[in-house]
Structure 1
């Protein structure tokens, strides 16, 4: 079924929002101020989702997407919008999300930090097997907008130039390998998840170890900006102990907290822990390293090591922290400051509501970072202080 409607605003995720007889419709690819024709793809009782067919009255903000694969791929939600306007809408979405989550208690939200690079910033890409489980070389592909078809491309505009050779090449995947991750090794080319080896990443003039099968931040320029913001918070708080939860290879402990008297790093990945130890050793830094799931190791540690002057830094995966860990923080004694870096805005709101539920903390600042330009994703840094 097709519908015709006016688009009022962009919502979190990048869809244009319009109404027909009071019912909300989220139209992929539509912009505020436009009158559009759209095809309903999912019709619920209280709302519907639709795909753009035609724009009758285009917005002055609309631009022609530079990517030739934009219709099939679906990885970018904002290529039809000038980058300055994308930033404006993303910041508005952060403000609206906090308003919905906290009402009159909305914390101070600072302007969004733009990425130094609008395109060509991704340091890794994931491509998927496109043939059945044989091990013959074949071209890999992105998963399409429909979540099941394959999209073969010659280049991704978001990817670092060094990754360009990966797209048109053929790759022989292992029998149980459904996808392969490719990463940039600065000055040496490409590493992939097929390999089991270390590689180097340059951040703020620091050469850090990463692992071909482990995690590392994708946008190095914005990662440096986050590290500088965290450094300023640390200087302001002047903690005696920095606890890095989901520490990874130690990126933020090293870039931001190396001068704190005591470092404690909690990490589950064996690949990350190996890199973390190497990165600390090369800089003659000492840290207590706790291996295992943060949700288990940290509460046990804290109950026997509660100290004033401790800054907790949370940088969890996209799913955020567990409800149990959030509730532990909400009731824990002697934690004076928490800094939470989230890569999913709605998950952050969920977790912050639990952290604040016992009245022990207040949010003193929120800083959005455009870690993933041209896509719906961004990262948000929230600072909490004990009341």
Structure 2
């Protein structure tokens, strides 16, 4: 194995640190910007290399002592070895880097990350795996090798008992912040008629309904929509029209009949909303609020939207997932007149 001295300069989406070997990026897990390490080159690719830390030569001042005995083997957390202020900063910088590199935005307005009220014990649900011997635990990073665990420090004590039939946010306290921030963004845009796609069980729909005149909210999950309709009836919310249809079908139908909306709100899964880009082009809402959990697909989709007249106003990272590289963002796009 080739051994080199490497200084870690940045973090990438996925969690690894990056150093440069004669200009070649080398991605090294479990490192922090500022670390000086002896690195073993595991594999060279065209344009980058994969490495592993063999020896710490000089630790970064931003290093922290991991709390979990399984950290480094369990695939659940990637950043327990870094102080929380640095986690927040690098989430902001990673969103900015993705918007520049993938989205081709020269100077994206990425705001400082909103911290989580809790950085431990915040997960409201977890998924444990079992092996043939009946042991329960998590998979090691990048494998199906089971690591038996007795507790998870980022999960609350009741997490294992919760198994919702549709998607819900895992960080309940930070979810309230998310709902408040999205509602404030929509209210600030002055929208009256709103289309929300990938609405789930109405997590964002109900706070938005309080600040707009009329909403149409759609999701492909029957159980999620049924739950949302029950919630609306229970609370006598009458300005929401729920639709159980895939987002692409909804967009095509609305565009065909020339429906108009002031604002589009999307909260797609990790693979983004590429399926509705053509529908956005036809519907042309005045503004878009895009909630994303993947800055790479966010940047790709925003680039496509920019091609037919939308400009990036701001992107707000919100930390739903402390101790990990995962990033939630609220991004506003405005249609140029």
TM-score, scaled to structure 1: 0.82
The match for 1:80 is 81
The structure with higher relative contact order (CA 8 Å, sep 6+) is: 2
Deviations along 1:183-214, one digit per CA (max 9) or x if unpaired, are xxxxxxx233xxxxxxxxxxxxxxxxxxx221
CA offset at residue 41 of structure 1? 3.5
The match for 2:251 is 298
Q: Are positions 1:218 and 2:170 aligned together?
A: yes
Cα pair distance change 1:191/1:96, threshold 3 Å: closer
Deviating beyond 6 angstroms after TM superposition, the runs of 4 or more aligned structure 1 residues are none
The match for 1:355 is 305
Q: Are positions 1:191 and 2:162 aligned together?
A: yes
The match for 1:269 is 221
Equivalent position SS for 1:33: coil
Cα pair distance change 1:252/1:15, threshold 3 Å: same
Within-5 A mapping of 1:1-387: 1-4=1-4, 5-103=6-104, 105-131=106-132, 138-163=134-159, 182=160, 190-192=161-163, 212-286=164-238, 287-307=240-260, 310-322=262-274, 324-329=275-280, 331-358=281-308, 360-387=309-336
CA RMSD of aligned residues (A): 1.8
Equivalent position SS for 2:33: coil
Q: Could you tell me whether the CA contact under 8 Å between 2:255 and 2:283 is conserved in 1?
A: no
Q: Could you tell me whether the CA contact under 8 Å between 2:26 and 2:51 is conserved in 1?
A: yes
Cα pair distance change 1:244/1:155, threshold 3 Å: same
Q: Could you tell me whether the CA contact under 8 Å between 2:225 and 2:243 is conserved in 1?
A: no
Deviations along 1:158-207, one digit per CA (max 9) or x if unpaired, are 101223xxxxxxxxxxxxxxxxxx4xxxxxxx233xxxxxxxxxxxxxxx
Equivalent position SS for 2:204: helix
Gaps of 5+ in 2: none
Count of paired positions? 334
Q: Could you tell me whether the CA contact under 8 Å between 1:258 and 1:285 is conserved in 2?
A: no
Gaps of 5+ in 1: 133-137, 164-181, 183-189, 193-211
TM-score, scaled to structure 2: 0.93
Q: Residues of 1 paired with 2:186 and 2:10: CA distance?
A: 37
